[in-house]
Structure 1
Amino acid sequence: MIITKSENLYLEMTAKLIEKGKKKLTDVSRLASSLEIIESHINRVSTLVDTIGFSSPLEEIHFFRNIKPKFYSRRIFLVEQFNIISNIPEDTTTKILAYYKKEISFIRRYFNQNKLIYQY
């Protein structure tokens, strides 16, 4: 039961974030309002866990391995996306392309160094 409700909260959060993304906002305003939406839904999921609890150890494992990380990964993604976008050099296309390649290289290196975490 908690899995279904948590998944519904995640879908609701995603829909709100998509709607927010369609609005003409500055990058800072979009990030702030998006983080507010995510934080609100993380709190709602935590409240759900506190009030309903888990029906079995398997449900609890599934929740903490698969459901809860979705909320936090969305938050991490938005912050990192903002950092990348806000640091784009205002220069030639060549320098901008080099900046993106450097960022992609950093992301690849990070995932290669942390393979064990993602395979868990």
Structure 2
Amino acid sequence: MLEILSSRLLGKMESELEEIYHGEENLQEKTNLTLKKSAHLIGIINNHVATNGFEDQEQEIDFFRNTLPSFYSLKIFYDEIYFIELRMPIGGQKKVVSFYQSEIDIIERFFERHCFFFGYYKMNATDLDHTFFVQDVKLDSVLLMGLEEVESNTSTPVSYLFAKFKAYEQVMVILKHRMMEQIKGNINFRTTVKTLDTLVWTGEVINLVELAFGIYHTKQLNNGSAGIGSICHWLGESFGVNLGVPSKRWSEIARRTTMSHTRFLDQMKKTIISRIEDDAARKSEPSNLI
């Protein structure tokens, strides 16, 4: 139930925040609407967890590592975009490009400041998940100083940090794209945000690797003749990420011991089945969850 509710609410949040962004309100109004909508939807999922709890600790870890950061990252992403638009300089190409570069530098410094956690996030490491993504664990490590940015009953410090990583990565991609478009003479910032928000892969890179191997082993491309290297390159180019060396990423998947070898594909299957069952249930008994 948690998975299908999360999926439905996240889809609702994505569409409604994008609708707000492309609306006719001014920046201040859009910011306020985004904050209210984000708080409402995040509140629903947090209240569900507070009321129903988790099935087991693994579900709790998955929620705070993957699910909740997806919600917060959307809020952070639009906060940053509005802040960028508010401060967009008036001037020639050189001034605007310099502004974009300074914003990129700020994000890169944030990643450097939290290099340990960012490395853990990028490598899809799992060794410390039971410390970082379980609420009742005492976090006394010096590594965690300064991370208490949200209430302890709605997230964990590292969970919120992961949300920032997800959001800032997406903002950086957009800034780099906008900088190149500015050089080419294309200054439609809003159109770029809409396009990239739809097409940039913001999930964990290893999930895309799982998808690549799934496509490869089920021979879905070029009548089964497409190689795994070509598939990884194609997906990486399409979604703006570097999947790395296929053989090494396969070894990462094969070495998993604390989670399913096909965690992402299993999650996709479970979510789809839950959605089908939930839709069938709602046809016979209307839901008031949202």
CA deviation profile, 1:40-95 (whole Å, cap 9, x unmatched): 01110111112222111110110011111111122222222222211122122211
**Whole-Å Cα distance in 1 between the matches of residues 66 and 2 of structure 2?**
13
* 1:40 alignment counterpart: 40
* 1:97 alignment counterpart: 97
Higher helix residue share: 1
* 2:29 alignment counterpart: 29
Secondary structure in 1 aligned to 2:37? helix
* Mapping for residues 6-85 of structure 1, pairs under 5 Å: 6-85=6-85
**Whole-Å Cα distance in 2 between the matches of residues 25 and 95 of structure 1?**
27
* 1:110 alignment counterpart: 110
1:84 and 1:21, CA in 2 relative to 1: closer, same or farther beyond 3 A?
closer
Structure 1: runs of 5+ lacking an equivalent? none
Q: Give the greater-gyration-radius structure (CA).
A: 2
Instruction: State the shift of 1:115 in Å.
Output: 2.9
RCO higher in structure (CA 8 A, sep ≥6) = 1
Instruction: State the shift of 1:108 in Å.
Output: 1.8
Letter in 2 for 1:28: Q
**Whole-Å Cα distance in 2 between the matches of residues 45 and 78 of structure 1?**
20
Structure 2: runs of 5+ lacking an equivalent? 122-290
How many residues are paired up?
A: 120
1:83 and 1:19, CA in 2 relative to 1: closer, same or farther beyond 3 A?
closer
* 2:154 alignment counterpart: none
**Whole-Å Cα distance in 2 between the matches of residues 22 and 78 of structure 1?**
12
TM-score normalised to the size of structure 1? 0.89
**Whole-Å Cα distance in 1 between the matches of residues 3 and 56 of structure 2?**
11
